[in-house]
Amino acid sequence: MEGKKLILSLKNTGLFYKRKTGLLRHDKFWALRDVSFDLFHGETLGIIGKNGVGKSTVLRLIAGIMAPDLGEVIRHEPLRASLLALQVGVIPHLTGRQNAILGGLLLGLRRSEVEALLPQIIEFSELGDFVDQPVRSYSMGMKARLGFSVALYADPDILLVDEVLGVGDADFREKSANALREISRSNKTVVIVSHNNGVIRNLCDRVVWIENGHTQGAGPTDAVLEQYQQAHTTAVTSDSQAPGKAALVAGDMQSQA
Amino acid sequence: MRANLDLIWYKVYAELSAEAARTFLGILWWLIEPVLYMSVFYLIFGVLFQRGGEDFVYFLLIGLVVWKWFDSAIRSGMVSLQTNAAVIQQVYQPKYIFPVIVVLINTAKFLLVLLLLLLFLLISGKPVSITWLALLPLIGVQFVLIVGITSVCATVIPFVPDLKLVVDNGLTMLFFLSGVFFDISAVPEHFQVWLRLNPMAVLIDSYRSVLLLGQMPDWGHLFWVLLCSCVLMVAAVRVFNRNDRIYPKLV
């Protein structure tokens, strides 16, 4: 990543959640123990790892939603990072238009900025006249389209994407995947979390692999993915229920493609 | 900061219109509900027990309207971080905005009911006194008090959820000690001193002096209420700021 500007670093970050274990008793569940990596301006970084290894927690650290309990998150410049969260604070009884404004405000825009973006948001969401209907009358796909469009046009410094490529109907999935591809090729900084290697391979310049709360590897996409797959193949072949597991992964791919 | 204000106002507007859209009668419920609530108490204390003199209706209504604003705002505002958990875990927003939004929503409803109450007083032939102007500072002080208490509760409850139950019961107790049903000044001296430590007792008494007796409120007392409320608000802001990025882990 020579020549690219360093904008954010995680240095040995760890984070725990408290779990209630009995009357007046808590224990600490460490979601992350020792995660370090750098993020450069304009790159698309993938974060891989099995479910429940704290990938989403990493996104929350980058977005500044949570602070690490160990280590530090260093912002080398002021940044507005937002999660491409599909349905932030949706109020079902309000119209799509009202929810779009609310979503934009929650993502940190001014009212006037959201208003100016509304025509593009509505256009991209393909909701047409439905935009003035209450959101509770929407299908899942329509809600997802609205959420994706708002997050896309809110245009943060770092776009954080958390396993959201499987939403909406086939056409819109294609469109949103294209939009992400376009963003990742542009000069935008994007961080994508997924356990789907296809998505990562397609979009990312670099990959960080997290296992058991530790950074297991980081580097160019192909190299890290190969390591990751090797580690997993060994795990799968040593598993007597290998076919079942393989089917599960395939099902996953389908829903995410 | 300005973006925060934009968000606060829009969310207040959005929540209010969503509430209106949820029922057939919509916005009318903001009037029907308090009227029902007040009739229950009037039936019991005014008709059944024959309490108070001829002005008892006005006396009771003022107490109830003022109390209800305080009570509903705190009850829903103190858990506002929990009710907005999904938002808090997905985007960064300073946490103080959540209780403030709830208080503003309840304030809008209160102002509507207060307007109705003033109309009722006018229609019943109560003389409009210059002291009605003192309503503005009274409402201001009560607003700061509500924001202060609600915010302090909202900062602590994510850490100690049990506090919600304490506050719920505390509010019920305070309801009976705030002089909604009786005149504080009619209580024996040595109890009065203690009862007046309760800011809501002071406020309810002041609203009545202003609206029914044409007397100015006790500004000294109100000043103390304002001061304590400001201390609460500052404390809440400090706790919120210190734990801003801890709350998403708790809710």
Three-state SS across A143-193? HHHHHHHHHHHHCCCEEEEECCCCCCCHHHHHHHHHHHHHHHHCCCEEEEE
| pLDDT computed for residue A166 by the predictor | 57
| pLDDT computed for residue A242 by the predictor | 39
CB contact under 8 A, B10 and A89: no
pLDDT in tens, B152-172: 999 999 999 999 999 999 999
Share of chain A above pLDDT 70, in %: 85
Residue that has been written with the tokens 């609206």 in this structure: B211
CA distance A243 to A249: 10
Task: Enumerate residues 6+ apart whose C-beta is below 8 A from A76.
Answer: A5, A6, A7, A8, A9
Tokens at residue B178, please?
Answer: 């705030």
- Separation in Å, CA B198 to CA B42, B144, B184, B232, B236: 24, 15, 11, 15, 20
CB contact under 8 A, A110 and B6: yes
CA distance A88 to A102: 9
In this structure, which amino acid lies at residue B70? Answer: F
| pLDDT computed for residue B166 by the predictor | 96
| pLDDT computed for residue A151 by the predictor | 83
Dmax (CA) of chain A: 59
Q: Measured between CB atoms, which of A18, A64, A94 is closest to B92?
A: A64
CA distance A20 to A27: 7
Position A130 pLDDT exceeds 60: yes
- Separation in Å, CA B210 to CA A100, A240, B68, B141, B201: 45, 82, 19, 15, 14
In this structure, which amino acid lies at residue B185? Answer: S
Task: Enumerate residues 6+ apart whose C-beta is below 8 A from B246.
Answer: A66, A67
CB contact under 8 A, A63 and B91: yes
CB contact under 8 A, A94 and B87: no
pLDDT in tens, A219-255: 999 899 988 888 877 665 544 443 433 333 333 333 3
Q: Does ipTM surpass 0.95 in this model?
A: no
Q: A136 by DSSP, 3-state: which?
A: helix
CA distance B163 to B153: 8
CA distance A177 to A165: 7
B85 vs chain A: nearest CA distance in angstroms?
A: 9
Q: Give A108's contacts in chain B (Cβ within 8 Å).
A: 3, 91-92
DSSP bridge partners of A26 = A20
Tokens at residue B113, please?
Answer: 């009911």
* Cα A201 to chain centroid, rounded: 15
CA distance B191 to B183: 12
A109 close to B (CB below 8 A) = yes
Mean pLDDT of A120-136: 91
- C-alpha angle A232/A236/A241, rounded to 5°? 155
| Strand ranges (E), B55-211 | none
| pLDDT computed for residue A117 by the predictor | 95
Of B172, B175, B180, the C-alpha closest to B207 is B180
Q: What is the residue-averaged pLDDT of chain A?
A: 81
Query: What number of helices (H) and strands (E) belong to chain A?
Result: 8, 9
Q: What predicted TM-score, i.e. pTM, was given to this entire model? A: 0.87
| Strand ranges (E), B136-201 | none
φ/ψ (deg, to 5) at A77: -155, 160
Cβ proximity of B166 and B74 under 8 Å: no
Tokens at residue A250, please?
Answer: 């395939």
Cβ proximity of B105 and B235 under 8 Å: no
Q: Quick one: CA dihedral B238, B239, B242, B244, positive or negative?
A: negative
Pick the more confident residue, A251 or A116.
Answer: A116
A65 vs chain B: nearest CA distance in angstroms?
A: 5
| pLDDT computed for residue A114 by the predictor | 94
Closest residue in A to B8 (Cα–Cα): A105
A38 vs chain B: nearest CA distance in angstroms?
A: 21
CA distance A132 to A104: 17
| pLDDT computed for residue A108 by the predictor | 86
Position A196 pLDDT exceeds 90: no
Strand (E) or helix (H) holding A33: strand A25-40
CA distance A227 to A211: 12
Q: A4 by DSSP, 3-state: which?
A: coil
DSSP bridge partners of A13 = A35
Cβ proximity of A8 and A76 under 8 Å: yes
Q: Which residues of chain B have pLDDT under 70?
A: 51-52
| pLDDT computed for residue B82 by the predictor | 95
Residue that has been written with the tokens 């204390």 in this structure: B45
CB contact under 8 A, A65 and B89: yes
Please report which confidence band the pLDDT of residue A167 belongs to, taking 50, 70 and 90 as the band edges. Answer: low
Pick the more confident residue, A167 or A193.
Answer: A193
A20 close to B (CB below 8 A) = no
Q: Measured between CB atoms, which of A63, A102, A110 is closest to B3?
A: A110
Q: Measured between CB atoms, which of A60, A65, A91 is closest to B14?
A: A91
Using CB atoms within 10 A of its CB, is residue A182 exposed (0-12), middle (13-18) or buried (19+)?
exposed
| pLDDT computed for residue A206 by the predictor | 94
- Separation in Å, CA B72 to CA B103, B171, B182: 9, 10, 21
Q: Quick one: CA dihedral A160, A163, A166, A168, positive or negative?
A: negative
| pLDDT computed for residue A239 by the predictor | 44
| pLDDT computed for residue A54 by the predictor | 83
